[in-house]
Structure 1
């Protein structure tokens, strides 16, 4: 192995160019022959003040660097240190760019060093890691990281990380190393020589070869799944219930027996036994998941009747599989099988991946994704993409290599992950799935779940929304454009060209036929762009008042009522596009017949068939949404005001899902348990029962209170000096709440979550708060403003003791982080002009009902309860709950919100007085 110099820098900021920011601390660890050979560390005088936020993050203050050397004093030593070495760093381009800039400013030519980024290397070798931050990787490898964000500690940890990653490389089978080497020219790190070292070591003998299933030059984890068909014992549920607490206590010393959990377990078991439906609201901390899993498994074992567990979120599925199931396998007095099933596109198709590996590729995200998958295949039992932490562009590759409706490839046979997942379902006692698949499965030919008669619906407050989406339709102009791009033309190196070349190899490609298809595809591209341009113009024309700001335009349309020249032009263009698509589909199908007669199965032919099917689905949806009369739903279109002409999406959803759920889901089941922390409104389940079509099934209902002492743990604060949004401009209102949020943050002095109902208001408030110099020691994060997914933003938020997170939509639930303060800016009413809400309100009004009281208010109360639930997650938590919306006390309906949460002290005063109370 070569000489590696692992470097870490602390700086005054991120702007290396032009010497705007400077290095404050430099550390280097020299590795030779796989061992740490030398360590160097020094503070540096940046000759400029260190910003307070940087000092808070790193612990490096101005007085610590005043007497330190200047960079130019140590520059000769740095050049000598790096000679004939690899430059290694975590996020290597940041450190290398800073170092190069400082060397140039000091009058030295930076040495020519090959570079290795430990972030990239970790991405390849740890493809399922949630995070590639240095601190998280240190925890993974159990490395001592005493001083995060200090160069000496970070450099040492990065060196240890690099050595651990080299060990991971050494553990890879030869065939995987060779595949990685083939991809390595596309990596940002210079890994060819490192990979060559391990390949040469294993060329004669590969001790890891026997550990894996090596097939068609790809190494896979060996399939170890086996069904346990042990002897049955007669163990009653009532007998087990008496010993359950003791069993759990043995496995979890911190376990506390909870009366509510026992009540819920009994209710679930009796509901299954008596074939009835049950609604159970279980407050935070009741142990809800175990309370339905244990009786579900007992019933499945006793009656040999599998139970389906459906959740809304992937996080809860993972919790059940990774935490609850292993626990229950240890404490339950009988063996059982659990299976997870998701939609086909979650599973990799090995046949397609094999083909993708053989292609020439210049796209970095695609190359990195292939490398990740090669390593992941050595680990995964499921082949499920949710295990992977894909780079941002990796999803495009996944769309090409995921499983589809075609028959499994003969070359890969029993190794097909989707077929394995289906096989496990057939032998499982409990089947874990998600709401989206469950509802999609209701009307699907390839239905996996329709025959199961016992179901638990967790996170059941989402059922109306998810079922409405699953039972509806949508046409995305962008997705249609991407589909055309994947098909390509004869002038691009895409599927059409590759199909022609493949057929030509077998000497039965008709150039004239492909030229006709080529011409038709170009016409379709032209006609679709014309249609999308007109749709966008139509939307802007109908929503002129919405076009200010970077917001999403929404317009509800009705085919029977729309008039005007532009609408007629749209329908004519849609009709022309449909006609053109039918023509090219017919031409495609003629080629498919030839392929089936003359050619062996190939990946490109399979991809071609997938695209034909997708094109037909797009054509059918477009005709239905723009040309067919609608009588059973609401149709609308949306687009980003500052988006491209392809940003328009057309939707259709049922106005009322209650009858469909009653007929297609509930009527075909013997017993269904619906549970969530938020199912009641005003103390009753009436809203959920009516909305979900449960009236005819006469469900029982149970509320299990939270074991937390909310009265001692939470104070609710309602500032009286927040202006009424109706009496001031939005700009004045935002200025006011930004000032309040800043003052609250200073007083709370910890982690604070601020929940908005409008992204536009969030964006404006965040822009003001982040400029507040009084909050310099706080990390300020905002949904949509900071890069990264919701999960990544949540992890970043958790890393800081003092932090403010601005969130909307998804952040109202699922955040499970200790908070010192929760701020709710507005009561969470859905916009009344949203197409589905407006259509539902109109339908209620037509039947003589008050839409606000029967629809808007119950939905807002449930959302309010979800938001409130973010604050207290354990018995030790304490926090402040600020509501900046005076409607909670000044309107006739405000009490519906306060009575929906546990009794807590409520203070309504000017903010200054509230902060004094909080501090006392």
Structure 2
């Protein structure tokens, strides 16, 4: 599509466009609705005013056009919606907009429907133009007009000029000057220990559900079981641990919310509800509207907590706005995104950029770099020294969480907070009050979360990041201040900090210098010898690469080169190559020279807290405490972990000894991080053999009760229902989840799913497809999705195969009226993709692990799940060692157990309520029958050829559709 000039014309005089592969719908400037092929559509648009559309980048992809640089040469209704409703998410499609605006959509959406959506939004604009919100919109228009925003002329005509002309058009974008300040309050007393009875939990559940809720027989039983996690603790270090497996459809979220909310209200403490991903946090938050329908009450009682890197940093935004002001018109596209981000910042509940109330498509419309650049993703927060500290979204959220009843967090944050609380000093308290009651939803992911939380990586990126945090930007254009800038006024106040600070900054030069990646991996640069690399970290990285190249075992010919194309290569650390051992010893000495002054600096800062109690105001005290925490977390703990890893290179492994840790070398592609695709990072990695050991260790002291729940805690097979097998399955679950590391025995409970899977589902294994023919695989996906008429979720075990299949089937599906979306292809977050999939009933979605677990899409929007391969565990070094030591001599059964649980999770996406129906298809003919027990009781797995499967699926889905239609007619 050609880049069109910006015209100051009425949106009603512009053509309207709903683009589709094949035939698009166009409303011409003369009011004629046309159905045009791609070439005709482009020809019409080339001679017209900018079109009115929904989601410009997606529209361009439908027309196979390059996406022009902003400001966009079209009138995107999503941008107008964002301006009017800045903190409301919406599926970014015409139907999604219609539902958000409460406009009944026609059966077939044609381009003239966009004018109806435009009318509704302009009417809304007129209603709000007279109030304070109208003033806020008017104030932003001068900046948006100068930046060339397509909607500015039409909005200016309807809103009129600002009532008070600002001194500078960007003044309205400086939102940090207008946001409310938080204020310190007295600390919350320790919570009580009053119990919640089962009868009380059931009564609270009834209040939440109301009289018209769908009956779920096991939900009240689940609420009763959950109360055991809220019993008073009898002994220090021995929390109550409840393992509650709740089959899909039990209603476990509200089941645990009932006793959790009662306990919090009764005892004046917070219950932390933890789940695996940010998307699942959002789902739980939405469920909590049932508990607190009133928004003001819910804001007081419920807080969502994430890591700092998820929130808008006002100092980053100030820097971006000042940069835009200094560059003038050159920064015009950036001004549009900053102005709309400022509009959102005044409306947001908590400033959450990543999965919060900033629409997930914002980055696709205005550049993902804008969103990521506004967050503190490098740990550069200066806390109390920041001029916006008392308006900071992160600090406000932390303080709200201290007084909340329910805090919705994720496993990674919970483990990090608990770990730091266990190591923190009394004179430097943690940011968050340590809770005593925890609910771990999606508990089957606890081992994975613990594995990530307690792993150590000494890699090029990790070490270079620490150098940047300590020394600052070192000449690059960045606001990275470095440690000296953060401490300069404190050094003047306490001269004793000067010497250790200088020593830290000098020792930090042992870490990789800027440009290290190109020096080590640029194929155009001759490889230097180890003697030529003076930097000790870079010398070690080079030695690690040589050892990995020599020892990596590739599944295909080509050795290391093949592995690099796949972005992954690894080898055992032991036996250690002499060059690696020598380089590691040199770096070990350098890191000890860094660790010592870091400890000294931290101790002297802590000393200031005790020595100057009378002279330090609360702001300065808070700033010093934050600096101490930052030094411990970002520097001291990292260096200590790296030191332990390097010491392991000097000690040979003892044969036939069960290790505590697994140490290995890994090379990974970093193309996904914005670096050239042919470059990779390399480093030493250390993982716990059993990561639930440190998890249990950090949770024993603070926790009084833990509820661990999921639909798949056990590998409970249906083929052997005897009591001994049930006990064995529970024993394996306790070991995998770490329950055996707690002193008190876990309480076990299982509630079966209420669904009639035999009548609601069918399951197939297609047995006539070749394994490695991507064209045949794509053809199978296309045929299956067409047979289901959409509403299909395709799951993949490899991103490369997902992308290859998407490329081959996107056009034929969309020509047939079935829109196709894909994780790792569409530049939208997972939550937005699921929103679209849920809204567009006949759409299809491709995804990997994140779509396999925890996605809740009830109703007709999901009626087929297709898995491309049996999801065996990845055969890497970590799995090899755990399979060896944690399988109790049955490694094949260990693999099967992990695989069955993935299959159970995938099948669980299919049926979310009693009226749902659907089919599950596995395209891997090698899937063994022993894995069929992963599916629920009543599900018969049928092995068929593709054509026979397609016929059976069509018959089943048509029959269920007719039944559903008849039931709706009778009702």
CA drift at 1:805:
2.9
Residues in 1 aligned to 2:74 and 2:807: alpha-carbon distance in whole angstroms: 37
What is the rounded CA distance, in whole Å, between the counterparts of 1:852 and 1:146 in structure 2? 54
Q: Secondary structure of 1:701's match?
A: strand
Please say if 1:466 is aligned against 2:449. yes
- Tell me by how many angstroms 1:351 deviates: 5.4
Give a deviation string over 1:509-559, Cα, whole Å, max 9, x none. x9xx9xx9999799822556443666556544543536438422131432x
The one-character-per-residue Cα deviations of 1:198-241 (angstroms, maximum 9, x if unpaired) are 68442189xxxxxx9x9973344999999999xx9x99856656
Q: Is the aligned partner of 1:838 residue 2:838?
A: no
| Secondary structure, counterpart of 1:685 in structure 2 | helix
Q: What does residue 4 of structure 1 align with?
A: 10
Q: Is the 8 A contact 2:195 2:230 kept in 1?
A: no
Write the mapping of 1:524-603 to structure 2, written as runs, cut at 5 A.
524-526=513-515, 529-530=519-520, 531=538, 539-543=548-552, 544-545=558-559, 547-548=561-562, 550-558=565-573, 560-563=574-577, 565=579, 567=580, 571=584
1:775-798 alpha-carbon deviations (Å, 9 max, x no partner): 844434443234433233334444
Indicate yes or no: 2:911 matched with 1:872.
yes
Q: Give, in angstroms, the shift of residue 470 of structure 1.
A: 0.8
Q: Distance in 1 between matches of 2:245 and 2:35?
A: 60
What is aligned with 2:437? Answer: 454
Task: Count residues with an aligned counterpart.
Answer: 829
Q: Secondary structure at the match of 1:880?
A: strand
Tell me: higher relative CO, structure 1 or 2? Use CA pairs within 8 A at least 6 residues apart: 2
1:27 corresponding residue in structure 2: 28
Q: SS at 2:513's partner residue?
A: helix
Displacement, 1:646? 5.0
Q: CA deviation at 1:290?
A: 1.2
Verify: 1:256 aligned to 2:217, yes or no: no
Q: Which residue of 1 aligns with 2:405?
A: 429
Equivalent residue, structure 2, for 1:18: none
Q: Secondary structure at the match of 2:291?
A: helix
Q: 1:483 to 1:27 in 2, by over 3 A?
A: farther
| 1:861 and 2:819 correspond | no
Give the whole-Å Cα distance in 1 for the aligned partners of 2:56 and 2:480. Answer: 37
1:341 aligns with 2:305: yes
CA shift, 1:877, in A, is 1.3
The 8 Å contact of residues 337 and 428 in structure 1, kept in 2 or not, is answered as yes
State yes or no: 1:812 paired with 2:852: yes
2:369 alignment partner in structure 1: 393
Instruction: Confirm or deny that 1:661 pairs with 2:695.
Output: yes
Unaligned runs of 5+ in 2: 1-6, 66-70, 167-171, 234-239, 521-537, 553-557, 606-611, 652-658, 672-676, 717-725, 956-971
Contact 1:145 1:154 in 2 (8 A): no
> What is the SS of the residue equivalent to 2:15?
strand
Asked whether the 8 Å contact 2:585–2:646 carries over to 1, the reply is no
Q: How does 1:785-804 map to 2 (within 5 A)?
A: 785-798=825-838, 800-804=840-844
Q: Structure 2 vs 1, CA of residues 419 and 744 (structure 1 numbering), >3 Å: closer, same or farther?
A: closer
- Of 711, 715, 727, the residue aligned with 2:762 is 715
Change (3 A) 1:667 1:155: same
2:870 aligned counterpart, secondary structure: coil
Q: How large is the RMSD of aligned CA atoms in angstroms?
A: 5.6
Q: 1:448 to 1:910 in 2, by over 3 A?
A: same
TM-score scaled to structure 2, two decimals? Answer: 0.71
| 1:894 pairs with 2:931 | yes
Select 1:686's aligned residue among 724, 731, 745.
731
The 5 A counterparts of 1:113-262 are: 117-123=76-82, 126-131=85-90, 132-143=92-103, 145-146=105-106, 150-158=110-118, 160-161=120-121, 164=124, 171-172=132-133, 178=139, 181-182=142-143, 185-186=146-147, 188-189=149-150, 191=152, 200-203=161-164, 217-220=177-180, 237=197, 240=200, 247-248=207-208, 251=210, 253=212, 255-262=213-220
Deviation at 1:282, TM superposition (A): 0.8
Moved more, 820-829 or 608-617: 608-617
Aligned-pair distance for 1:812? 1.0
Which runs of no fewer than 5 residues in structure 1 stay unpaired? 15-20, 29-39, 55-69, 102-111, 206-211
1:675 partner SS:
strand
Q: Secondary structure at the match of 1:525?
A: coil
Contact 1:308 1:432 in 2 (8 A): yes
Indicate the structure (1 or 2) with the bigger Cα radius of gyration: 1
**What is the rounded CA distance, in whole Å, between the counterparts of 1:872 and 1:492 in structure 2?**
52
Q: Which secondary structure state, in structure 1, belongs to the residue aligned with residue 346 of structure 2?
A: coil
CA contact (8 A) 2:856 2:912 kept: yes
Q: Find 2:227's aligned residue among 269, 278, 281.
A: 269
Measured after TM superposition, the shift of residue 462 of structure 1 is 0.6
1:858 is displaced (CA, Å) by 1.8
Q: Deviations over 1:871-913 (max 9, x none)?
A: 11121111122223345555xx335434xx2322333333333
Deviation per CA, 1:117-159: give whole Å up to 9, x if none. Answer: 5444544554434344444334333345537752222244245
Hey, what does 1:910 align to over in structure 2?
A: 945
Residue 710 of structure 1 and its aligned partner are, at CA, apart by 1.0
Contact 2:129/2:135 (CA < 8 Å) preserved in 1? Answer: no
Q: Distance in 2 between matches of 1:176 and 1:874?
A: 43
CA distance in 2, matches of 1:715, 1:773: 23
**3-state DSSP class of the match of 1:706?**
coil
Q: Report if aligned partners of 1:481, 1:646 keep a CA contact under 8 Å in 2.
A: no
Contact 1:524 1:577 in 2 (8 A): no
Q: Which residue of 668, 676, 681 corresponds with 1:639? A: 668
Deviation, structure 1 residue 573: 8.4
1:628-648 deviation digits (Å, cap 9, x = unpaired)? 548742234231297343544
Q: How many Å apart are 1:714 and its aligned residue?
A: 0.7
Decide whether the 8 Å contact of 1:147 with 1:153 is kept in 2. no
Structure 1 residue 716: Cα displacement: 1.7
8 Å contact 1:864–1:897 — kept in the other structure? yes
**What secondary structure, in the 3-state scheme, does the structure 2 residue paired with 1:327 have?**
coil
Distance 1:153 1:313 in 2: 36
Deviation at 1:619, TM superposition (A): 5.9
Could you say what secondary structure the match of 2:939 adopts? coil
Distance in 2 separating the partners of 1:93 and 1:742? 24
Report the Cα distance in structure 2 between the residues aligned to 1:457 and 1:475, rounded to whole angstroms. 30
